Amino acid sequence: MPGYYRSALTMSEFILAVYFLLYEILFFWRIHKIQILPLVMFAVILLASRSTQKMSMRMNIGIYTIVTTVWCGWYIHSFGWGSGGQHLLIPMLVFNFFNIYYAPWLKIINTVGLITYRMLLYAWTLNNQPVILPDSLTNIIFQTINSVLLFIILSVDFIIFSSSIQETERELRLNNQALHKEADTDPLTQLPNRRAMYDRINDFSRDFPESPFTVAIGDIDFFKKVNDTYGHHCGDYTLKQLADLFRNSAIDKYSVCRWGGEEFCFFLPGKNVDEAWNVMFDLCEAVRKMQLSFEGHEFSITITIGLEENDFRSTIDQILEKADKKLYMGKVAGRNRVVM
């Protein structure tokens, strides 16, 4: 049983225990008699509230149901319908409907049973006088206590249940956000992946259909040599260091993702190819000057970048393909350059 349900039931039982004890005091004060049943109910429900962690929830709910049902019957029999003892049946509906282990048909049966029991109590009062006829002030006190008790129990239960639902929704929302981020993030470099970059370019094209943009594909020169010479762990280190450099240099100039392997894709919104070339050239130089150190090995790398501007005719795939072709033109031309 969920913790919130157990907490609500425990609090309700504790409130009922206080209620039974209060009624015993009121009986003695207003009617000048000692009633055994409130004391018994007080002991039973207090024991149940203190034992929810040890007792099965099915048994605990059963005790709560029996105590409430017996009390309402005895109360109506003793003081009549006007004193409000029947109000205690309403919280039982709350526990019935919030019980996640009850099938819908069982909840319906329980609801019909509670309604039937309440109507039987009312029918009994139409043909029978209460055993005790309290004076008007006592009747007002009893009615007030029963009404206040109902609102206290319902308020406590709804606060606990609604808080749990809100917390569950918050956790679900955070989990969905985490899953969405994980689906759009490259696990090694923590950069967006190819799918995320496609979405970003598509969103920009849709929202700003007349605005220029340029895409760039960059590839690490002789990356295989780094892996062969220093090992694949060094290759991973190199990719992560490069990703950090790209991230720190981006500011508002571009978005970057890991395109795959040792390739990265850059998206430069609002920039034509000349403006993009200046940004990528500075980045290319920053990579060339970056000194890398892995397990005592000092080395440096370079990258080659191909650029393609949106011509407002080609699809995004076609623009990316053209940028990729210019990347390989740069490879053929000697690497460590930006080709537009």
Segment 111-163, tens digit of pLDDT: 999 999 999 999 999 988 888 887 888 888 888 888 898 899 889 888 888 88
Segment 294-310, tens digit of pLDDT: 988 899 999 999 999 99
User: What angle, 0 to 180 degrees and rounded to 10, lies between the N-to-C axes of helices 90-98 and 3-26?
Assistant: 170
pLDDT of residue 54: 64
End-to-end CA distance of the chain: 64
Angle at 202 between CA 199 and CA 204, to 5 degrees: 110
Q: Which of 10-14, 171-175, 208-212, 298-302 has the lowest mean pLDDT?
A: 171-175
Of 261, 209, 255, nearest in space to 239 by CA: 261
pLDDT at residue 251 is higher than 90: no
Residues of the chain with pLDDT > 70: what percent? 97
Confidence label for 96 from pLDDT (cuts 50, 70 and 90): confident
Task: Please indicate whether residue 7 or residue 245 has the higher confidence score (pLDDT).
Answer: 245
CA distances from 194 to 33, 84, 255 (A): 81, 67, 12
Residues of the chain with pLDDT > 90: what percent? 48
Q: Amino acid identity, residue 101?
A: Y
Of 98, 107, 197, 200, nearest in space to 156 by CA: 98
Summary mean pLDDT of the chain: 88
pLDDT of residue 35: 81
pLDDT of residue 93: 87
Q: Which of 150-164, 259-273, 307-321 has the lowest mean pLDDT?
A: 150-164
pLDDT of residue 83: 82
User: What angle, 0 to 180 degrees and rounded to 10, lies between the N-to-C axes of helices 90-98 and 136-183?
Assistant: 20
- Average pLDDT, stretch 171-184? 75
Segment 202-212, tens digit of pLDDT: 999 999 999 99
Segment 212-246, tens digit of pLDDT: 999 999 999 999 999 999 999 999 999 999 999 99
Task: Please indicate whether residue 34 or residue 86 has the higher confidence score (pLDDT).
Answer: 86
In the chain, list all ranges with CATH 3.30.70.270. Answer: 194-339
- Average pLDDT, stretch 187-197? 91
Long-range CB contacts for residues 170-175, cutoff 8 Å, separation at least 24? none
Confidence label for 98 from pLDDT (cuts 50, 70 and 90): confident
pLDDT at residue 99 is higher than 80: no
Residues with Cβ within 8 Å of residue 156, at least 6 apart in sequence: 8, 11, 12, 15
pLDDT of residue 1: 60
Confidence label for 52 from pLDDT (cuts 50, 70 and 90): low
pLDDT at residue 311 is higher than 70: yes
Tokens 């260091």 sit at which residue?
241
- Average pLDDT, stretch 325-330? 94
- Residues 110, 90 contacting (CB under 8 angstroms): no
- Helices (H), strands (E): how many in the chain? 11, 7
Of 24-28, 78-82, 324-328, which one has max mean pLDDT? 324-328
Q: How many CB atoms lie within 10 A of CB 72?
A: 19
Return d(Cα 307, Cα 265) in angstroms, integer. 10
- The CATH classification number of 194-339 equals 3.30.70.270
pLDDT of residue 238: 95
